[in-house]
Amino acid sequence: MENNKRDATIDILRIVASILVISIHTTSSMIAMTIGRWAVPFFMVVTGYFYFNNPNHDKLIKIVKNLLSLWLIWMIIYIPNAIIHIQGMSISKAIHALIWAIIGDSIFFDGSWYLPAAAFGIWVTDYFRKHHKMALCNIPALVLLFVGCVASSYDNLNLGILSKMHWATTFPMGVIWMTLAFYISKYQKQLKTKLKWSGWIILAMLLTIFEHVFTLKLGFCSLVNRSDMYFTLPISIVILFAFIFNHPHYQSKEKTLWFRNFATLLFFTQFYVITFVKAFVHVKLSILKFIIVLVVSSIISVIILWISNKKHFSILKKIYE
């Protein structure tokens, strides 16, 4: 393949994942609550996959700094959003909300937790890798998967504080997906060979849908939109990457970079648009809300990409690179 070409499959799927995140925050559709739950784990595993393909200390520091810088920049950008959410709260609730904004879902913007989760997860997983103790890393990863599930899709099991607090969207969960990223990177050739059949991706979707329906029908999940994590989700993500390995789609470096940056901006800009739509656009149909948020967020993202390429506005690249 020519040097100016690269596989764009992951970058195209980044855009799809960002669209799915919008669907999660605007609808309670079956797609949003099932396949949509692949999105954030996919983002984290992509980061880990590229790192573990060629791990080194300097690269690790760069990735962690970049993740935390993006988190801090967008937390600052979303301060007005936090002020809106904090209005009417007691002082104690406001303090709790500010503390939880560092641990998990944030009053600044809902998706903030995944950036520190990715940073924490890749740091912890790499520690075990460097010390040749990945078997030990599997233990906290599995424990956290259990905790995440009983705090979301299985919260009606009522396992005390594990079910009461919404642990599924907190920073320790990054260990699950970065551990998975390590193994996907290590066994990518085997995955490509053994899971070559395209039908596997359909089975992966059905697996997630089945567990979602299972938890609702048997009353394990208290709310449809609380189902952030499933026990079968790591299996589906592995199959998704096998699908990626077997379906390369080559584009120019410039185009694939544009895809990646657009996906990043689409993810981050949606939260202001959602706040605006909730406040000023009274939409009853959730699908219409989804379309409005998607279109407006896409337009804003394209405008930012265009402006940031101008000489005097290149500083804007810091919010997505």
Write the pLDDT tens digit of every residue in 222-243. 888 788 999 999 999 999 999 9
- pLDDT at 294 (0 to 100): 98
The arithmetic mean of pLDDT across residues 267-293, rounded, is 91
Dihedral over Cα of 17, 20, 24, 29: its sign: negative
User: For the chain, what percent of residues have pLDDT higher than 90?
Assistant: 80
What confidence category does residue 64 fall into, taking pLDDT thresholds of 50, 70 and 90?
Answer: very high
- pLDDT at 67 (0 to 100): 97
pTM (two decimals): 0.94
* Cα 207 to Cα 205: distance, rounded to the nearest angstrom: 5
- pLDDT at 56 (0 to 100): 96
What confidence category does residue 277 fall into, taking pLDDT thresholds of 50, 70 and 90?
Answer: very high
The arithmetic mean of pLDDT across residues 164-170, rounded, is 89
Name the more confident of 290 and 165: 290
Asked whether the predicted pLDDT for residue 1 surpasses 70, the reply is no
What confidence category does residue 129 fall into, taking pLDDT thresholds of 50, 70 and 90?
Answer: very high
Asked whether the predicted pLDDT for residue 2 surpasses 90, the reply is no
pLDDT tens string 249-258? 999 999 999 9
Dihedral in degrees, nearest 10, Cα atoms 9, 12, 16, 17: 70
What confidence category does residue 163 fall into, taking pLDDT thresholds of 50, 70 and 90?
Answer: confident
- pLDDT at 88 (0 to 100): 85
The arithmetic mean of pLDDT across residues 18-23, rounded, is 97
Phi, psi of 158 (to 5 degrees): 55, 55
As a whole number, the mean pLDDT across the chain is 94
- pLDDT at 13 (0 to 100): 97
* Cα 315 to Cα 302: distance, rounded to the nearest angstrom: 16
* Cα 217 to Cα 209: distance, rounded to the nearest angstrom: 12
Lowest-pLDDT range of 14-23, 150-159, 293-302:
150-159
What confidence category does residue 116 fall into, taking pLDDT thresholds of 50, 70 and 90?
Answer: very high
Dihedral over Cα of 279, 281, 282, 285: its sign: negative
- pLDDT at 267 (0 to 100): 97
- pLDDT at 223 (0 to 100): 84
In sequence order, the 6+-apart residues with CB closer than 8 A to the CB of 229 are 37, 145, 148, 149, 151, 152, 153, 168, 173
- pLDDT at 3 (0 to 100): 61
CA 302 to chain centre: 21
Asked whether the predicted pLDDT for residue 153 surpasses 60, the reply is yes
- pLDDT at 166 (0 to 100): 85
Q: What is the DSSP letter of 320?
A: T
Phi, psi of 162 (to 5 degrees): -65, -35
- pLDDT at 224 (0 to 100): 83
pLDDT tens string 71-106? 999 999 999 999 988 888 888 888 888 888 888 888
CA 143 to chain centre: 20
Please write down the long-range contacts of 258-261, taking CB distance under 8 Å and 24 or more positions apart.
258/305, 259/8, 259/11, 259/12, 259/14, 259/15, 260/11, 260/14, 261/305, 261/320, 261/321
> Two tokens at 203?
């089975």
The arithmetic mean of pLDDT across residues 14-20, rounded, is 98
* Cα 297 to Cα 290: distance, rounded to the nearest angstrom: 10
Residue with tokens 């790192």: 51
- pLDDT at 296 (0 to 100): 97
Amino acid at site 103: I
